[in-house]
Amino acid sequence: MEASTICSLLIILLLFMAGSVGVDAGTITCYNHGSRCFLKKIICPAQCPTTNPTNPKAKVCYMNCNSPICKAECRNRKPNCNGHGSACLDPRFIGGDNIIFYFHGRSNEHFSLVSDLNMQINARFIGLRPAGRSRDYTWIQALGILFDSHSFSVEATPAKTWDDEDHLKFSYDANELFIPQGYPSHWASSKQDLKIERTSTKNSVIITIQEIAEVSVNVVPITEEDNRIHNYQIPSDNCFAHLEVQFRFLGLSPKVEGVLGRTYQPDFQNPAKPGVTMPVVGGEETYRTSSLLSADCRACVFSAARVQQRDISMETGFGSLDCTGRAGNGNGIVCRR
C-alpha cells in the first residue's frame, strides 16, 4: 500500500475519532448564582461524559461551583468516607478543614451537624452501651433538613439482619414520601428546589437542595467483621442499619455552626488532637436539638421565621420598584419586560 494511501486512511480515522468524542462527550452547567462559573457550559471528561450514566456504578460528570477553576471532573455518587464533608462509621467526621475527628453524641438523641442562615441539618444517633463501657457506641440513623419553610428527612429503617430490601424512608413537609426503587428513580418538589435521586436500585440516594447543599447517602449495616474487630457486642436481632453521608455545600456563611458545620468557619481552630488514633471532640450540650427537625440547639443559627421574613422583604422590595422614572432619576435601576 502506498504511503499516501496510508496517510489518507490515518487522517480519516483521526477525524472519525474526534467526531465520536464530540458526539459522546456531554456538558455540564453551573446554576449557582453566587459562583464565578454561573451558567458556564463545561465539557465533561471523556471518562465520565454524562451526569446520568445508565450504569449506577459508573462515575458521573461533576463541577464544583465553589472552585475558582470552572472545570468538570469525574466522581462517584456514593459517599466517600475518606473525603471532606463525610460522616461515617461510629461516627467519624472529616471536616471542611480536612481534619478527622469523632463525635459520639448519645444514643436516641439528636444533634445539629450543620446550622447556617439558610439551612439546618440534624442527625439522629442510634447505638448501644455494652456492660462495662463508659459511653455509647453510636451511628447516624437519620438526617433532618430544614430550609426555607420546608422540612425533609431521610432515615435508615431497622433491620434484624441485613437483607436485599430497601432500607430508606423519606418525608417532606411532615408527609411520607415514596420514591420507587430502581435506578435512575427520582423525585423533585414542585419548585424544583429539592431533588432526590437514587444512585443505585436501593439504599443509596443523592439529595440536592438548590443552591444550598448536596448530600450523598448510603445505608449500611454493622457487619459481623465490624462487630468482631470493635467488640460492639451487637445483638442477634439488630444489625443497626445506619447512614454513611457526605456533604457538599454551596456558599456557607462565616457564621455556620454545627458539629461538622463549624469546621467550615474561616478562622476555626479544630480541637481534635493531632496524632491521636481516635481524636474525639465534645459539644453534646452545645449541639443537642429537641428533635430531628428542630433548630433549637444552643449554637444553632438557622431560623425559619427569619428566612420567611427575608423572602417577604425581597418580594415587597421588588414589588415597590418604580419603572416609570417618575419617582426619581432612575440611576441604577433597569426594568425590562
Question: Which residue among 52, 75, 98 closes a domain?
Answer: 75
**17 — pLDDT class (breaks 50, 70, 90):** very low
Lookup result for grid cell 459481623: 224
Residues 140 and 243: beta-carbon distance below 8 Å: yes
Question: What is the band of 315 on the pLDDT scale with cuts at 50, 70, 90?
Answer: low
Per-residue pLDDT tens over the stretch 79-104: 999 999 999 999 999 999 999 999 99
Would you call the peptide bond into 184 cis, given omega within 30 degrees of 0 as the criterion? yes
Residue 289 resides in a domain: yes
Q: For 247-306, write each residue's pLDDT tens digit.
A: 999 889 999 999 999 999 999 999 999 889 999 999 999 999 999 999 999 999 999 777
Indicate whether 300 belongs to any domain.
yes
For residue range 19-32, list pLDDT tens digits in order: 322 223 589 998 88
Per-residue DSSP letter, 13? H
Together in a domain, 159 and 263: yes
Closest-CA residue to 63 (of 87, 83, 39)? 39
Regarding whether 34 and 68 lie in a shared domain, the answer is yes
Other beta carbons less than 10 A from residue 183's beta carbon = 18
Give SS3 for 190.
Answer: coil
Give the whole-number percent of the chain exceeding pLDDT 90: 69
Taking 50 as the threshold, does the pLDDT of residue 237 lie above it?
A: yes
Please tell me the predicted confidence (pLDDT) of residue 25: 54
The pLDDT of residue 216 is above 80: yes
Give the global pTM: 0.83
Domain count, the chain: 2
CA angle 153, 215, 307 (to 5 degrees): 65
**Inside any domain, residue 121:** yes
Confidence of residue 313 (pLDDT cuts 50, 70, 90): low
Query: What is d(CA 145, CA 294) in angstroms, rounded to the nearest whole number?
Result: 9
Measured between alpha carbons, how far is 217 from 189 in angstroms, rounded to an integer? Answer: 19
For residue 190, give the C-alpha cell. Answer: 414542585
> Is pLDDT larger for residue 253 or for residue 323?
253
Closest CA to 40 of 30, 32, 25, 48: 30
Same domain, 102 and 65: no
| Cα 136 to Cα 330: distance, rounded to the nearest angstrom | 64
Question: Is 155 found in the same domain as 182?
Answer: yes
pLDDT of residue 310: 63
SS3 track for 49-109: CCCCCCCCCCCEEEECCCCCCCCEEEECCCCCCCCCCEEECCCEEECCCCCEEECCCCCCE
pLDDT of residue 15: 36
- Is pLDDT at 234 greater than 80 in this prediction? yes
Cβ burial of 324 (10 Å; 0-12, 13-18, 19+) is exposed
Question: End of a domain among 32, 55, 75?
Answer: 75
Q: Evaluate if residue 47 carries a pLDDT over 50.
A: yes
Asked whether residue 147 falls in the same domain as residue 232, the answer is yes
Q: Which of 63-72, 147-156, 328-337 has the lowest mean pLDDT?
A: 328-337
224 and 91: one domain?
yes
The answer on 134 and 226 residing in a single domain is yes
Domain containing 18 equals 3-75
Q: Is residue 336's pLDDT more than 80?
A: no
